[in-house]
Structure 1
C-alpha cells in the first residue's frame, strides 16, 4: 500500500476513535520492515495525535495512550533508530487526567470535518443517546450521495442524538432548515454543544419544548446562517398533529431509532400523525436507517407500519464509504410512504 494512502487510513480511523484492532497494523509493519529509515511513523504521528484537530479536540486519554503504545511496539519491532518524538508524546499523555468526555472527528469529502463531543461510556446519564451509532454514519453517507433530496428543503430529524447525521447533512447537502429533535435533556444539551463546536451559532436558550400547545415557536439559530437550525424537544408519546404540522417538514430522517418494541410503537404513532397531515400538501419523504441487531424488532416495525397503512421499501446500498467503521455494520435504510 502506498504510504500516503496508509497514513490517510490511520488518520481517518484515529480521528474518529475507531477500535484499534480495525487499524491496518500489518501493512504498517510490512512498510516499516521494507524501509526502516523512512519517516512513515513520524508522519503517522503528525496525522493522528499531533494533528491540529486532535490537539484541539482529542479522543480519550486512554485511547491515545493505547494507540501510541501500539505505534511504539511496531517501531521497536523493526529495530530502527529510536524516535524520540513518539516517547515524548507518550510522556505528555501519561500526565493527562482522564475525562468522562472525549471528541471524535469525522472527515467529510468537502475537506471539512464533523467534530463531536461524546460520552466515554456507552450508557451515560440513563441514556444511550450520548454516543454516535453506526446507522447515523450510514445515513449520512447515503445523504451525501443523494444531496438533492435535502437541498433547499426543511428537514426534521427524529431522535437526533448528539447530532452527527444532521451536522453532516447541514455541512454537505444545503438544506434550507434543519430541525434537530430529541427528548432526553442530557442529549439535547450535548447536541446543542456539538452544534456550536461545528461553527453553528445558536441564540441563548435555544432548546425549546414543543410538546405543549402553549409553548411558542422553537428557538432557532441566528437568521443570517444557512441552513437555519432548530433544536426541538420532541416527545413522541404526546406530540400533537398540530405541532408536527407547524414544523412543515419536506423530509424526515432518523437513525437507529428502531431497537426497542415500546419506542417502535411511539415512533409509528408519530409517523401516523404525519401521514394524516399530508392531505392538503405533499407528504414528506421519510428515510429511516437502523442496524439490524434483532430481526424480530425489525419485523415488528414492518408489521406496525403495515397496520397503519404506511408503505415502505428498502433503499439500495450506497456505494461511497466515507466514514470508518470498526466492522461493516448490518445497516438498512427504509424509505417510508406516509
Structure 2
C-alpha cells in the first residue's frame, strides 16, 4: 500500500512538472518541482521525463515555444543535476547544444513580444499511470513579455487566476448567467465563464491592443469573438462579445442597456486617477432594475430599467419574475492601501456595498504546480448596489 502511495505521489509530481513547463513558470520554480519529483534531486528518471514529456513533446505537437525559455530550462536542469553529482542524460546535453547552435534567430524571437503559455487547471488529482490525462482543462494564452513597457493588459495577473479558480469551483454561481467583465486583459476569465455555461459573456477593455490579443486568445480556445452589434448571436454557445470600453468615456446610456447578472473584475483597482471612472461604471451596471408604478414613458430613462410588466404589477406574475439585483465579484491584490481606501470611500458615496468574501468563497487549488502564483495575496470582494 505504501509503494502504491509513493508511486501516486511521484506521478502527480510529474504532472505538476509538465504543467509548470507548459505554463512557462520561472525556471527556478520548475527546478524546485523537478527536485520534488526526484525526492530531492533531479534523477535520471526525472530527466528522462523532462526530455520526453516537456522538451521533445512540444516539438512533436508543433507548439509555438520560446527558445530563450527552453534554453534556460535545459541549462538549469543540467546545472542542478551536476550540483548533486547525478548522472546527466546525454540527450539533455544534445538538446542544449542543438538550441545553442540552432539556425533559429534569437533576434527574431525577441521581436515577438508575446509568448504562448498553456495554463492547466487540474480539476482531478490523477492517481495512476494515466495521470497526464487528468489535466481537465488546458487553456492556451498569448501573453506579454513586455509587462514593464506598458503592455500590462496582456500580462497574466494573479487575480485573474484567482477568479478563474473561483468560477471553476462554483460553476452554478455563473452557469446560465449573463456575465460582464471590466478590464478583461488576456480573456482568461471569459474563457472560464463559457466553460461553466454562462448564458452570455461580454468582455471589455479600454486598450485596443489588449482587445486584439484577447480576441486571439478566444480563437485559440475555440471561442468566437463578436464585436459588431448587428452581428450578435448570443444563442451560439461559443460566442463571446468583446467591446472597447474605456471607463472614462463609457456612455451611461450604453451601460444601462446591458443588465448583467454578474459583473467581474480582476486587478482593476490600481490607479487612483481611474478609480472614479471605475466606480461610475460599476454603479450603472449594478443598479437594480427599477420598479415603476406606471407605464414607462418613451425616452424616460428613469423608467427604462423596469423589472416587471403591467401584468406583474396587477398581480399576475406567473410568466415573469422580477430579476435579481446584480452583483460584482472583484479580485484584487492590494498593492497600494491608499488607492484601495479611495475606492472604498467613493463606493460608499455611490451607494455601493463592498463586502470582503475572501474567507467564505475560497476557490479550490486548481493550479498547485504554479509556484509563482500566491493566492494568499488576492482578496475577493462582492460589490452590490444599496437600495435607498
Shorter-normalised TM range: 0.7 to 0.9
Off by >6 Å, runs of 4+ in structure 1: 32-35
Larger Rg: 2
In structure 2, what is the equivalent of residue 28 of structure 1?
35
CA distance 1:187–1:53, shift in 2 (3 Å) = farther
Deviation at 1:55, TM superposition (A): 4.9
1:41 matches 2:47: yes
Any unmatched runs of 5+ in structure 2?
1-5, 124-134, 291-305, 308-323
2: CA distance, partners of 1:127 / 1:65: 25
2: CA distance, partners of 1:57 / 1:288: 34
SS of 1:129 mapped into structure 2: helix
Any unmatched runs of 5+ in structure 1?
209-216
CA distance 1:184–1:102, shift in 2 (3 Å) = same
Deviation at 1:69, TM superposition (A): 0.7
Deviation at 1:268, TM superposition (A): 0.1
- Residue 118 of structure 2: which of 95, 99, 105 is its match? 105
Aligned residues: 323
TM-score (norm 1): 0.86
2: CA distance, partners of 1:123 / 1:207: 29
**Which whole-Å deviations, capped at 9, do the CAs of 1:77-133 have from their partners, x for residues lacking one?**
454554232123223433233232211111122622111111211144x44101111
CA distance 1:130–1:54, shift in 2 (3 Å) = farther
- Residue 166 of structure 2: which of 111, 127, 142 is its match? 142
1:70 matches 2:94: no
CA distance 1:34–1:236, shift in 2 (3 Å) = closer
Deviation at 1:224, TM superposition (A): 6.6
SS of 1:261 mapped into structure 2: coil
CA distance 1:283–1:241, shift in 2 (3 Å) = farther
2:204–2:243 contact (8 Å) kept in structure 1: yes
In structure 2, what is the equivalent of residue 122 of structure 1?
147
CA distance 1:24–1:89, shift in 2 (3 Å) = closer
CA distance 1:30–1:309, shift in 2 (3 Å) = closer
1:236–1:266 contact (8 Å) kept in structure 2: yes
In structure 2, what is the equivalent of residue 314 of structure 1?
356
1: CA distance, partners of 2:252 / 2:355: 25
1: CA distance, partners of 2:38 / 2:118: 26
1:197 matches 2:220: yes
- Residue 168 of structure 1: which of 186, 192, 198 is its match? 192
1: CA distance, partners of 2:330 / 2:63: 30
CA distance 1:310–1:32, shift in 2 (3 Å) = closer
- Residue 291 of structure 1: which of 319, 333, 341 is its match? 333
- Residue 15 of structure 2: which of 8, 20, 32 is its match? 8
2: CA distance, partners of 1:254 / 1:21: 30
CA distance 1:326–1:30, shift in 2 (3 Å) = closer
- Residue 90 of structure 1: which of 96, 102, 108 is its match? 96
Let me know the Cα RMSD of the aligned residues.
Answer: 2.7
SS of 1:17 mapped into structure 2: coil
In structure 2, what is the equivalent of residue 207 of structure 1?
227
